[in-house]
Amino acid sequence: MTPIETEVARLQGLIGQEVGVANWITVDQAMIDQFADTTQDQQWIHVDPERAARETPFGGSIAHGFLTLSLASRFAYDCFAMADGQVMGINYGFNKLRFLNPVKAGARVRGRFVINSVKQRNATDMLRETGLTIEIEGQETPALIAEWLGLAVFGPAE
């Protein structure tokens, strides 16, 4: 079997199983402010903690949903290694994505991964759909749930 065929077979045996739980990351106000600067999204619910404490039900500022989502890449680094023969991984998008609970400044979040499906597309590409839940420490409702698509690219078979 080629390296891609070996990896496809391995992951197909894990469909429906949790395959990784990332380390906790604190989403502090500095991170939120940096994200706001980078994306030019300066909405006050993110960057004005005093006003957010007064005028929202959150008790302070909250992270951008896309900031929370962007941490998925970091969580994947915690949970997945490159397979033998794999030369790169490419973010291929999402089938579904729902933001369920805001992440308050100072909260800790982490990602949990479940293999939903995997298929070999051609001699070098494997498409994996991973169920992603980003949970908030101490909260029953997660920050978000998603079906994340990743393309694993393998070197040519020898």
Give pLDDT, residue 158.
59
CB 103 within 8 A of CB 118: no
Please check the confidence at residue 110 and state whether its pLDDT lies above 90.
yes
Per-residue pLDDT reduced to its tens digit, 111-128: 999 999 999 999 999 999
Per-residue pLDDT reduced to its tens digit, 23-52: 999 999 999 999 999 999 999 999 999 999
* Domain residue limits, the chain: 3-28+63-154
pTM of the predicted structure, to 2 decimals: 0.93
Q: By percentage, how much of the chain surpasses pLDDT 70?
A: 99
Q: Which fold has domain 3-28+63-154?
A: Thiol Ester Dehydrase; Chain A (3.10.129)
Q: Tokens for 150, please give them.
A: 């990743």
Give pLDDT, residue 156.
79
Q: Please report, for residues 46, 49, 57, the alpha-carbon distance to residue 54 in angstroms, rounded to integers and kept in the order given.
A: 13, 9, 8
Three-state secondary structure call for residue 2: coil
CB 51 within 8 A of CB 113: no
What's the CA gap between 152 and 126, in Å, rounded?
5
Average pLDDT, integer, range 51-76: 97
Q: By percentage, how much of the chain surpasses pLDDT 90?
A: 98
Amino acid letter, residue 76: A
CB 107 within 8 A of CB 31: no
**Residue 45 burial (10 A CB sphere; 0-12, 13-18, 19+):** middle
CB 107 within 8 A of CB 136: yes
